[in-house]
Amino acid sequence: MFSWPGWSRAVESVVMDVRSEPTGGVRATATILFPVESAVIHRILTDYAHWPELFDVRMRMAEIREQDGKVFTDIRIDHALLPGERRLLSETRTLPTGGLLTELKGGDFKQYRRFWKLTPVDGGAYTKAEFELFVEIDSSVPDWMVALAMRQDLESHFRIMTEKALAKAQPTVRRQ
């Protein structure tokens, strides 16, 4: 049986903290245990065209461009908390340590930084993912309200990622 402090099959496989920062913005940190190999999670996180499928929030990819080992994305987000469509221009790159870092390049956000670190555990059968997100939206919505919505959105996001990861990890069955 797999053993990881703070995790058991009887409880959720996500430990998360979401809070508004005193200087502005909202920070979320999480440790997620995915029941699949790290390569499966990495493929999901770098399948930019299908990012909108990983969220319950309505969004669309307006542009995806790969250049010099970096991926630039123009994401349009329609969130119930915010009026209208928000634009997030970002750059994602794989770090030498293997982590994935996404940083703000423009749009309707004051700050945006997302980091994923994937670590194989239990002989590679599972993935321990460390996640950090810092967001400051150019909006009059108070940060505490953004934090509440972000917690719900991330809980859903991690659940969807787990479902997709399990589906991708299932061996394909051939019909005779």
Is the model more confident about 111 or about 83?
111
Kindly tell me if the per-residue pLDDT of 79 is higher than 50: yes
CA–CA distance, 170 with 46 (Å, rounded to integer):
19
Across the strands, what pairs with 113? 103, 134
Q: What is the pLDDT of residue 138?
A: 86
What number is the average pLDDT over the span 92-115?
A: 95
Q: Quick one: three-class SS letters along the chain?
A: CCCECCECCCCCCEEEEEEECCCCCEEEEEEEEECCCHHHHHHHHCCHHHHHHHCCCEEEEEEEEEECCEEEEEEEEECCCCCCEEEEEEEEEECCCCCEEEEEEEECEEEEEEEEEEEEEHHHCEEEEEEEEEEEECCCCCHHHHHHHHHHHHHHHHHHHHHHHHHHHCCCCCCC
pLDDT band at 8 (very low <50, low <70, confident <90, very high): very low
The domain locations on the chain are: 14-47+92-168
Q: Which listed CATH number (3.30.2010.10, 3.30.530.20, 3.90.1720.10, 3.40.50.10330) goes with 14-47+92-168?
A: 3.30.530.20
Q: What is the pLDDT of residue 62?
A: 96
Is the model more confident about 16 or about 168?
16
Record the pTM. 0.87
What number is the average pLDDT over the span 90-94?
A: 97
Percentage of residues in the chain having pLDDT higher than 90: 75
Kindly tell me if the per-residue pLDDT of 20 is higher than 90: yes
Kindly tell me if the per-residue pLDDT of 175 is higher than 60: no
CA–CA distance, 117 with 130 (Å, rounded to integer):
5
